[in-house]
Structures are given as C-alpha cells and as structure tokens.
C-alpha cells in the first residue's frame, strides 16, 4: 500500500545550505537600502551646501518678491565669478549679523555708483530699471559710492522701504550667500529668476 504522506527528513531544515539563499537575499536588500539612504543623505547635504533654500521676509523687494515666498539660491556661481548686474542675491546683513537680506545687485566691483533724484548712474551712465515702481526721494538715498575690487552695491526694488547700500554702503563678495535662481513657492509664482538685460 502506497504512503499518502511523504516522509520528511527533519535534518534537511538544519542544513545551512537551505537558509543561505534567504540570508543572501536579505543581506543584498539591506545593502541596497543602506546605499539608497546614503545617496539621499549626500544629495540633501549637497543641495543644502550648493543650492540652499531661503524664505523671503519683508517688503524691500516688492512688487517682485513678497514675504513667505521661497527661493533656491545658487552658491556655485559665487565661487566661479560672482553675480552679474541685476541678479537678486541673498546676503548677510552688515547691520545684524544673524539676519539675511535679499537685494538686487546694482553696482559691480570697481564701478562708480551715483544716485541723484532717485535715479541710478553707473560710471556716469543712467541705469534703466524696469523692476522699480517707486524711486527713493529721501535725501538719504542720494550719494556717490566708489566700489572696491571686491565690493558690490545692492538695492531693494522697493526703494522707499529698503535697508540696503543706500544706508550701509557697498558689501564685500564674502557677505553674499548666493544668487536667487528659482522661486518655487507659492506654486502660482514659481519661475526661473533671470537678471534683466540692461
């Protein structure tokens, strides 16, 4: 009479060779997970170092930037050569060490900047500024500045309500954290930030 149930050799389950494929698959999966986590961490650190994100706070760049908008800043260009005229930059405040400012680069190293009756002149030539809707008419906004070899002149687009180079003068390149390249929040205002053509 034929047996209805096969006889199982219990010693088979104690054989290490049976468990090896399962252990190997588990070790491979764990290794892949560790690699994925490391890649994500490295990418996040690289983003924070080279393309950090900042939140706009204040009205100094209105109507072009508003409080709570978020921008991605490019630090790489600062290392390769610095900002161009018209670039929007994030910089350390010369008056409050723990505060960051967002301003527009108006003057480049070695230039002469003159502000007369609210209008900006670079090396004697008037600067066309379509991003400014209201000129600063306060006497404190006027003056002449000679920029050093490593200095930039920065102004807010909202000239009547901006703490900028009108007040604290030119800023050194080392004070500039980076150039705002992308506005990503709110989504309705998301765009690539390009310097105007003068």
Secondary element (H or E) of residue 20 = helix 16-50
The single residue of 103, 140, 162, 165 carrying the catalytic annotation is: 103
Is 167 a residue of the active site? Answer: no
Nearby residues of 129 by Cβ (< 8 Å), 6 or more positions away: 120, 196
For 185-195, b/e burial (b = at least 16 CB within 10 A) is beeeeeeebee
Are the C-beta atoms of residues 120 and 126 closer than 8 Å to each other?
A: yes
Are the C-beta atoms of residues 18 and 12 closer than 8 Å to each other?
A: yes
Its sign, for the CA torsion 61, 64, 70, 73, is negative
Q: What is the dihedral of CA 26, 28, 30, 32, to 10 degrees?
A: -150
The single residue of 60, 162, 167, 174 carrying the catalytic annotation is: 60
Is 60 a residue of the active site? Answer: yes
Which residue numbers are catalytic? 60, 103
């Amino acid at each position: 009479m034929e047996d209805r149930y096969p006889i199982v050799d219990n010693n088979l389950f104690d054989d290490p060779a049976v468990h090896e494929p399962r252990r190997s698959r588990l070790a491979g999966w764990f290794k892949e997970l560790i690699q994925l986590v490391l890649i994500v961490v490295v990418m996040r650190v690289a983003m924070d170092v080279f393309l950090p994100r900042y939140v706009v706070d204040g009205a100094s760049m209105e109507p072009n930037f508003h409080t709570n908008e978020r921008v991605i800043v490019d630090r790489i260009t600062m290392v390769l050569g610095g900002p161009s005229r018209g670039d929007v930059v994030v910089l350390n405040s010369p008056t409050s060490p723990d505060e960051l400012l967002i301003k527009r680069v108006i003057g480049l190293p070695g230039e002469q900047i003159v502000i007369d009756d609210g209008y900006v002149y670079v090396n004697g030539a008037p600067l066309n500024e379509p991003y400014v809707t209201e000129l600063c008419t306060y006497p404190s906004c006027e003056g002449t500045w000679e920029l050093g070899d490593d200095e930039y002149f920065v102004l807010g687009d909202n000239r009547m309500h901006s703490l900028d180079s009108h007040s604290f003068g030119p800023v050194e390149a080392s004070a500039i954290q980076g150039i705002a390249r992308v506005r990503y929040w709110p989504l309705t205002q998301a765009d690539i930030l390009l310097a105007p053509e003068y």
